[in-house]
Homo-oligomer: A and B are copies of this chain.
Amino acid sequence: MPPRGRCYVEDMRTLFHMPLDPASRLVRIMLAEKGLPAQLVEKRPWDDEDGVLAAVNPALTIPVLMDEPPTGGDVAVCPVSAIVEYLEDAYPNEQLLPSTSAARAETRRLTHWFMDKFDAEVSDNTLRERINRRLMRRGQPDYERLKIGADCLVWHLDYAEYLLDQRHWFAGERYTVADIAAAAQLSCLDYIDLVPWEKFPAVKGWYARMKSRPSLRPIMRDRMDGVPPPPHYDNPDF
């Protein structure tokens, strides 16, 4: 007999994800912070011939979280912004949004900043240009786009440095989902060794604190065939 209780706990929650997808990483870290196990199923949105992704998300994006919430029923939650709110709603044990409306607004502004603005300006031009193009076997990356993305990254790191010069965590004095969003993006870019940490000491110090959190350990163990990360990738004292 299989250990039914344990199987049930692990099977009740599934995340469709990709290892080097920032939005998927945000959800994995958030699940870990809340102590919620989940079965990870890798799913490339451009390769859905079996229709598994389309059946749960007509927008054909990842991540999608399939869950049985404590109140019963089944639910498929997407996109990432809705997953963040859902996990806070359904599992309030470890709150990752602050306690006041104003502080929650700032946290959501920055979470959106990293998941949408940073994503479109930096990660689309760099991470996806290098990694997804490789996975799709579409040849060499467009170097013009890589250059634009690297320039945007410096602009974003300047803003991050400005914030972290004034605040211990991104949205204020408390660790929040805004820190998770920033770490989800920067950890993917760091995997392809794109982040000039030395020029941004406040960001580097913050990322060292992030890397030492147990919730980031599974992320640090991700490896992609043929694309090894730099040696400092999983070292908190980098």
Contacts and interface: CB of A to CB of B under 8 A. Distances in A.
Interface of A: 58-59, 69, 71, 73, 75, 77-79, 81-82, 85-86, 89-90, 100-102, 104-106, 108-109, 112-113, 116-117, 159
Given A58-B159, A59-B113, A108 B81 contact: yes
Contact of A85 (B102, B104, B113): B104
Nearest to A117: B59
Residue of A58, A101, A106 most packed against chain B (CB within 10 A):
A101
B105 A82 contact: yes
Contact of A101 (B69, B78, B101, B105): B69
A116 B78 CA distance: 13
Given A59-B117, A104-B85, A159-B58, A112 B79 contact: yes
A85 B85 contact: yes
Contacts of A79: 109, 112, 116
Nearest to A104: B89
A75 B102 CA distance: 6
Contact of A77 (B77, B85, B105): B105
Contacts of A59: 113, 117
B58 A102 contact: no
Nearest to A103: B75
Contact of A109 (B82, B113, B159): B82
Nearest to A90: B101
A81 B117 CA distance: 13
Nearest to A115: B81
A171 B75 CA distance: 13
A78 B107 CA distance: 11
A124 to B, nearest CB: 13
A79 to B, nearest CB: 6
A81 B115 CA distance: 12
Contacts of A81: 81, 108, 112
Contacts of A58: 159
Contacts of A104: 85-86, 89
Contacts of A86: 101, 104-105, 108
A235 B132 CA distance: 48
B71 A100 contact: yes
